[in-house]
Amino acid sequence: MTSSPSTVTVDVHLTDEEWDAAMVEECRRGLTATPKVLSPVWFYDARGSQLFDEITRLPEYYPTRAERSLLAEHAAAMVSAAGADTLVELGSGTSDKTRHLLDALTADGRPARYVPFDVSEATVRAAADQLVEEYPALQVHAVIGDFNRHLGAIPVEGRRLVAFLGSTIGNLDPDERRRFLGALRLVLGEDDRFLLGVDLVKDRDVLVRAYDDADGVTAEFNRNALCHLNDRLGATFDPATFRHVARWDEAASRIEMHLRSTLEQAVRLDALDLEVRFDRGEELRTEISTKFTMEGIAAELDEAAFDVVRTWVAEPGFGLLLARPAA
């Protein structure tokens, strides 16, 4: 089959300046809230991204390995069941695990489209340039945007399989998940499909170890968010005065990561013209990671007018669900 030459198109709906301003405002709200919270976006400066890559290779951290194994084994079945010729990936990053789906999508040289959707234009462009070298039949139509605001900017091209991997949906609280799934349902047509990755409820000790490894890599990753604030916002955090805390919230079915101040202190953030005081023992929440049952997430999808078509599960408990818009 003759394929069209690869091309890269990038639609920018969110500039770096706009994203930075949104991060700063969210930081102000979170640090002046009771209790204090910090968005996990602050994890990912260059050092944080490097640390997270190390985390994904730790023996305690199973989610990346489990999801990758599912994609490696079942990507062809997922693409076939979706009947897709276009893959949309929300929070695409470097598009690493995506290659399993792209291999299936472009099998036998079939022309296909890939729509990476992320906030970082530089990251998306670098990944897209690499992908069109690897996949001669691939057309890349990237979208730079925030999935909380710009889902309507996803191109309407072909039969779309929208992938939201890595159990990123677990970083959203129930109201945020409801809004996200409802907004996504509104932009999907009857022939489109949704592939969702979710981490599943399992033994508490397994969950806690995944977020508090023996080598302390996750603790360094957590405290690095404070280094990022120091660099970007002229903050005066001393990361050594904060202890990494990871605990399981049974009632909310989620792991929470916190930074606990080991002393009474005041922190200045020059870019916000803000001073934040911490009591000794006071905690700053940096992330939530909800864990699901397959029945529970299916019920959330049903509430948002999605029907689950197929599911795949890998040990020690990670699931992928393929859903279609309900009639």
Q: What confidence tens digit (pLDDT) does each residue in 206-237 have? A: 999 999 999 999 999 999 999 999 999 999 99
Cβ-contact 111, 3 below 8 angstroms: yes
The neighbour count for residue 134, using CB atoms within 10 Å, is 12
Name all contacts of 231-236 with Cβ < 8 Å and 24+ positions apart: 231/45, 232/20, 232/45, 232/271, 233/24, 233/27, 233/269, 233/270, 233/271, 233/272, 234/268, 234/269, 234/270, 234/271, 235/267, 235/268, 235/269, 235/270, 235/271, 236/267, 236/268, 236/269
Mean pLDDT, all residues of the chain: 95
Q: What confidence tens digit (pLDDT) does each residue in 125-153 have? A: 999 999 999 998 899 999 999 999 999 99
- Amino acid 247 reads R
Does residue 50 have a pLDDT over 60?
yes
Cβ-contact 226, 260 below 8 angstroms: no
* pLDDT for 7: 87
- Residues 297-303 have a mean pLDDT of 98
Q: For the chain, give the percent of residues with pLDDT over 90.
A: 92
d(CA 244, CA 239): 10
Please state the pTM of the whole predicted model: 0.95
The bridge status of strand 193-199 relative to strand 86-90 is unpaired
Cβ-contact 234, 226 below 8 angstroms: no
In sequence order, what are the beta bridge partners of 141? Answer: 9
Could you tell me where the beta strands, DSSP code E, fall in the chain? 7-12, 36-37, 86-90, 112-118, 138-144, 160-164, 193-199, 242-249, 254-261, 265-269, 274-278, 283-290, 306-314, 318-325
d(CA 40, CA 102): 28
The neighbour count for residue 84, using CB atoms within 10 Å, is 25
- Residues 47-72 have a mean pLDDT of 96
* pLDDT for 109: 82
Q: What confidence tens digit (pLDDT) does each residue in 167-195 have? A: 999 999 999 999 999 999 999 999 999 99
Q: What confidence tens digit (pLDDT) does each residue in 238-296 have? A: 999 999 999 999 999 999 999 999 999 999 999 999 999 999 999 999 999 999 999 99
Confidence of residue 2 (pLDDT cuts 50, 70, 90): very low
CA neighbours within 13 Å on the CB side: how many for 225? 25
* pLDDT for 327: 84
Confidence of residue 1 (pLDDT cuts 50, 70, 90): very low
Name the residue with tokens 């039969």. Answer: 159
* pLDDT for 3: 47
Cβ-contact 86, 157 below 8 angstroms: yes
